[in-house]
């Protein structure tokens, strides 16, 4: 005796809906994959895989050329902490440079944003002028300012007899430090200005008008209303300037080359010389891993602190 199972119309409709839903999900996955896949692939090949390889090479004595890669374990890291005072000197210089550059760059960028957010006829032209230095490459910019410090300032000093222009700007440890800070701030402040302007334009003008009617001064408007409302922009700008200042290389090497007497040598230059001039690729990679950890800690703490202020605001 055979039993016949008849599939009713509701069951067929349910099966059709399930199939169509699966097709829609598959189409969505393929669409996402088509757009995100290439970027993810390049990110893996250019960023993640070299980073993992760098971690591996930091435990070897590879010279960057030989096919022989000898595993040495923690020897490179021990050598850095015990026998490499120049690396820590470059860390101290880079940290001081970062602190000075972050403060000056953001003050300049925010000040220019406040100025150019006003109703000025030439504000669009001025925004372009202040942003242009960020477009110029660091090496080219460094050589331009090297000529200004060495030749231009000397000529102005001879004409005006002002002592500030007669200083050995790139020949002394103190003035060379501030020379690099000046050039870096001049290059990056225009970029920060654009971010701050975008944030200022998002501030609700009715709040400012109401505060003015209540008798609030310009300083009160700035500190009690404007700055708390644009704290996300400060978070972004601090993050960018901290990471850029820590990683300074091209500007540093074209202005001073780390001199005089390695007094302005950044961590990036120290790592470059260790890996590609001294042919100690394993040791240089170990330094870069330590450098990465320090920058990651600094930026993470900064973002957490400023994000906390955003929530409170």
Q: Look up residue 107 and give its two tokens.
A: 């003050």
Task: Determine the structural domain holding residue 189 and report its residue range.
Answer: 76-312
Give pLDDT, residue 1: 45
End-to-end Cα, the chain, rounded Å: 79
Q: What is the pLDDT along the chain (313 residues), one digit of tens a residue?
A: 444 445 456 666 666 677 777 777 888 888 888 888 888 888 898 888 989 999 999 999 888 888 888 898 899 999 999 888 889 999 999 999 999 999 999 999 999 999 888 877 888 888 888 888 888 888 888 888 999 988 898 899 888 888 888 888 888 888 999 999 999 999 999 999 999 999 998 888 888 888 888 888 888 888 888 888 889 999 999 999 999 999 999 889 988 888 888 889 999 999 999 988 888 999 999 999 999 999 999 899 988 888 887 755 4
Q: Which of 264, 302, 270 is closest to 285 using CA atoms?
A: 270
Give pLDDT, residue 12: 61
| Contact of 86 with 164, CB cutoff 8 Å | no
Residues 119 and 200 in one domain: yes
pTM metric for this prediction: 0.83
In a domain, 35, yes or no: yes
Q: For the chain, what is the domain count? A: 2
In a domain, 66, yes or no: no
Residues 48 and 181 in one domain: no
Grouping H, G, I as helix, E, B as strand and the rest as coil, residue 111 is: helix
CA–CA dist 104, 95 (Å, integer): 14
| Contact of 191 with 105, CB cutoff 8 Å | no
Give pLDDT, residue 164: 85
Residues 18 and 150 in one domain: no
Residues 33 and 95 in one domain: no
| Contact of 201 with 234, CB cutoff 8 Å | no
Residues 94 and 182 in one domain: yes
Residues 138 and 186 in one domain: yes
Residues 53 and 97 in one domain: no
Give pLDDT, residue 9: 61
Give pLDDT, residue 8: 53
| Contact of 112 with 221, CB cutoff 8 Å | no
3-state secondary structure 239-282: HHHHHHHHCCCHHHHHHCCCCCCCCCCCHHHHHHHHHHHCCCHH
**Is the peptide bond between 260 and the residue preceding it cis, with omega within 30 degrees of 0?**
yes
CA–CA dist 20, 98 (Å, integer): 56
| Contact of 195 with 231, CB cutoff 8 Å | no
Residues 103 and 180 in one domain: yes
Residues 267 and 123 in one domain: yes
CA–CA dist 1, 175 (Å, integer): 103
Give pLDDT, residue 165: 87
């Amino acid at each position: 005796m055979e039993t016949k199972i008849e599939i009713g119309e509701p069951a067929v409709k349910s099966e059709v809906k399930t199939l169509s839903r699966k097709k829609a999900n598959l189409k969505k996955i393929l669409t996402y994959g088509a757009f995100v896949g290439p970027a993810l692939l390049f990110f893996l090949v250019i960023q993640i895989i070299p980073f993992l390889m760098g971690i591996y090479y930091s435990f070897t004595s590879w010279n960057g050329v030989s096919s022989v890669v000898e595993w040495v374990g923690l020897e490179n890291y021990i050598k850095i902490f015990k026998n490499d005072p120049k690396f820590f000197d470059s860390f101290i210089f880079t940290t001081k440079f970062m602190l000075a550059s972050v403060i000056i760059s953001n003050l300049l960028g925010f000040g220019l944003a406040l100025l150019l957010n006003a109703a000025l006829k030439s504000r669009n032209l001025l925004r372009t002028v202040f942003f242009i230095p960020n477009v110029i490459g660091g090496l080219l910019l460094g050589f331009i300012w090297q000529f200004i410090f060495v030749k231009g300032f000397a000529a102005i000093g001879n004409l005006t007899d002002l002592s500030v222009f007669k200083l050995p700007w790139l020949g002394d440890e103190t003035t060379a430090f501030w020379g690099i800070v000046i050039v870096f701030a001049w290059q990056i402040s225009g970029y920060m200005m654009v971010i701050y302007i975008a944030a200022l334009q998002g501030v609700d003008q009715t709040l400012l008008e109401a505060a003015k009617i209540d008798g609030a001064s310009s300083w009160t408007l700035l500190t009690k209303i404007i700055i708390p409302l644009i704290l996300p922009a400060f978070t972004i700008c601090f993050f960018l300037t901290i990471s850029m200042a820590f990683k300074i290389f091209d500007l540093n090497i074209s202005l001073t080359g780390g001199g005089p007497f390695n007094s302005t040598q950044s961590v990036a230059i120290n790592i470059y010389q260790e890996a590609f001039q001294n042919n100690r690729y394993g040791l240089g990679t170990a330094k870069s891993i330590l450098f990465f950890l320090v920058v990651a800690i600094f930026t993470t703490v900064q973002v957490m602190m400023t994000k906390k202020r955003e929530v409170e605001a």
